[in-house]
């Protein structure tokens, strides 16, 4: 579904640092604390082992759903698109030690294209993602490129055969479609440098492009909460324990999710060990650099108290 007006509307919304936050009704005492999880495979090392403490409930959804749920007050904490945290930094705060970030390629935030980037005319964007759209805009602006950006859902190869010359995809389907283009990998394929083109389709990995541009990691998601609704300590502790367990058993997590995704185990294992889940100094540097480029004039980014031992 093409929508020519959407690009302008989106650009206008993007350039405004003021939040579109609704003010939820005050909570009744004793009401549950509500979490919203984007449950893509890349968060499995944190979420799969998570045992919610008493008094905490959770829902799941795609990034734009969880962004909206946090901003409307439907949930109190969520792993949201980092760009929404930046845009709404006056009302949101983030946990200081949780991120979905990478240094270099991510494999699941992909622009599939059939012409060189410089010659792109029509690019399909998924409505599931806020972060990848903002990143794509920064990368295109950096190269002085302005293809028409349109909202359209569907698999990359199908959209490429329907008049789009670029298709932006995220998450598990983007990972699967990347492998669909470049796979199957041979035993000789080095796992430090996976291929990015085949059959006339190039897969530009937006996090790798960001690394080429800045030398920094790219932080896709942070765990944000409303400043007036910080998470109970028991929830943060449970998340830290779940992450320690998940990263400690990454091969098991990868095996389970490889089966679900229909991908080879070693591909999923490589995908997962590539992530940076602790919002460390380089990830914050990348986040601040992106914030300055994508949301000039944003409110200062604030993070909760420093964590205890991991
Ligand atoms: C790396 C990814 O990051 C996710 C992408 C998001 C977005 O595009 O808005 C939001 C949260 C991230 O967890 C991915 O989905 O592949």
- pLDDT tens-digit profile of 217-231? 999 999 999 999 999
Query: Is residue 182 over pLDDT 90?
Result: no
Contact 301, 85 (CB under 8 A): yes
Query: Is residue 151 over pLDDT 70?
Result: yes
Contact 36, 13 (CB under 8 A): no
**Complex confidence, ipTM:** 0.95
CA-nearest of 108, 153, 87 to 126 is 153
CA-nearest of 180, 208, 176, 177 to 192 is 208
**In the prediction, which pLDDT does 306 show?**
66
Cis peptide before 159 (omega within 30 of 0): no
**In the prediction, which pLDDT does 3 show?**
33
State mean pLDDT over 117-129.
94
**In the prediction, which pLDDT does 9 show?**
32
Taking only the tens place, the pLDDT of each residue in 203-219 is 999 999 999 999 999 99
**In the prediction, which pLDDT does 12 show?**
32
Q: Which residues line ligand 1 (CB under 6 A)?
A: 38, 40, 42, 63, 81, 100, 106, 108-109, 129-132, 170-171, 174, 220-221
**In the prediction, which pLDDT does 10 show?**
35
Euclidean distance between CA atoms 259 and 119, whole angstroms: 38
State mean pLDDT over 17-22.
43
Contact 97, 279 (CB under 8 A): yes
Taking only the tens place, the pLDDT of each residue in 251-261 is 999 999 999 99
Position 49 confidence tier, pLDDT thresholds 50, 70, 90? very high
Position 196 confidence tier, pLDDT thresholds 50, 70, 90? confident
**In the prediction, which pLDDT does 250 show?**
97
State mean pLDDT over 299-310.
79
CA 101 – ligand 1 centroid, Å: 9
CA 26 – ligand 1 centroid, Å: 30
State mean pLDDT over 172-185.
90
CA 129 – ligand 1 centroid, Å: 7
Query: Is residue 309 over pLDDT 80?
Result: no
Position 195 confidence tier, pLDDT thresholds 50, 70, 90? low
State mean pLDDT over 28-41.
89
Q: DSSP alpha helices (H): ranges in 73-197?
A: 82-87, 131-142, 156-160, 171-182
Give whole-number Cα distances, 122 to 131, 138, 157, in Å. 19, 17, 14
**In the prediction, which pLDDT does 13 show?**
35
CA 30 – ligand 1 centroid, Å: 32
Taking only the tens place, the pLDDT of each residue in 276-293 is 999 999 999 999 999 999
Mutate to test the pocket of ligand 1, among 39, 62, 63 (most ligand atoms within 8 A of CB): 63
Q: Is 199 left (phi over 0), alpha (psi -120 to 50) or beta?
A: left
Higher model confidence: residue 20 or residue 127? 127
Atom nearest to 100 CA in ligand 1? 13
**In the prediction, which pLDDT does 17 show?**
38
CA 220 – ligand 1 centroid, Å: 5
Mutate to test the pocket of ligand 1, among 39, 112, 171 (most ligand atoms within 8 A of CB): 171
Give whole-number Cα distances, 136 to 107, 123, 141, 204, in Å. 15, 10, 8, 10
Higher model confidence: residue 91 or residue 194? 91
CA 309 – ligand 1 centroid, Å: 27
**In the prediction, which pLDDT does 225 show?**
97
Can you tell me whether residue 178 is helix, strand or coil? helix
| Torsion sign over Cα 154, 159, 161, 163 | positive
Nearest CA residue ID for atom 16, ligand 1: 171
The enclosing H or E element of 170 equals strand 166-170
State mean pLDDT over 97-107.
96
Lowest mean pLDDT among 26-40, 146-160, 236-250: 26-40
């Amino acid at each position: 579904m093409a929508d020519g007006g959407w690009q302008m509307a989106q650009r206008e919304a993007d350039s405004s640092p003021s939040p579109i936050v609704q003010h939820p009704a005050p909570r009744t005492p004793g009401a549950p604390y509500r979490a919203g999880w984007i449950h893509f495979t890349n968060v499995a090392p944190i979420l799969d082992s998570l045992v919610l403490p008493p008094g905490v409930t959770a829902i799941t959804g795609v990034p734009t759903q969880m962004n909206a749920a946090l901003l409307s007050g439907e949930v109190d904490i969520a792993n949201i698109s980092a760009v929404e945290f930046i845009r709404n930094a006056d009302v949101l705060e983030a946990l200081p030690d949780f991120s979905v970030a990478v240094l270099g390629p991510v494999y699941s935030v992909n622009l599939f294209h059939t012409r060189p980037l410089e010659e792109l005319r029509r690019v399909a964007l998924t409505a599931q993602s806020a972060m990848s759209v903002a990143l794509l805009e920064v990368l295109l602006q950096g190269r002085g490129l302005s293809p028409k950006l349109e909202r359209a859902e569907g698999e990359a190869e199908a959209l490429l055969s329907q008049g789009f010359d670029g298709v932006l995809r995220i998450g598990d389907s983007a990972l699967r479609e990347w492998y669909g283009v470049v796979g199957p990998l041979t035993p000789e394929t080095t796992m430090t440098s996976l291929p990015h083109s085949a059959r006339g389709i190039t897969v530009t990995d937006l996090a790798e492009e960001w690394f080429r541009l800045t030398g920094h990691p790219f932080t896709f998601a942070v765990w944000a909460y409303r400043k007036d609704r910080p998470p109970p300590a028991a929830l943060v502790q449970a998340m830290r324990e779940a992450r320690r367990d998940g990263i400690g058993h990454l091969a098991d997590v990868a095996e389970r999710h490889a089966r679900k995704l229909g991908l080879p185990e070693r591909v999923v294992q490589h995908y997962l060990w590539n992530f940076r889940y602790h919002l460390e100094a380089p990830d914050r540097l990348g986040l601040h650099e992106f914030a300055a480029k994508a949301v000039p004039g944003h409110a200062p980014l604030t993070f909760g108290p420093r964590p205890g031992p991991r």
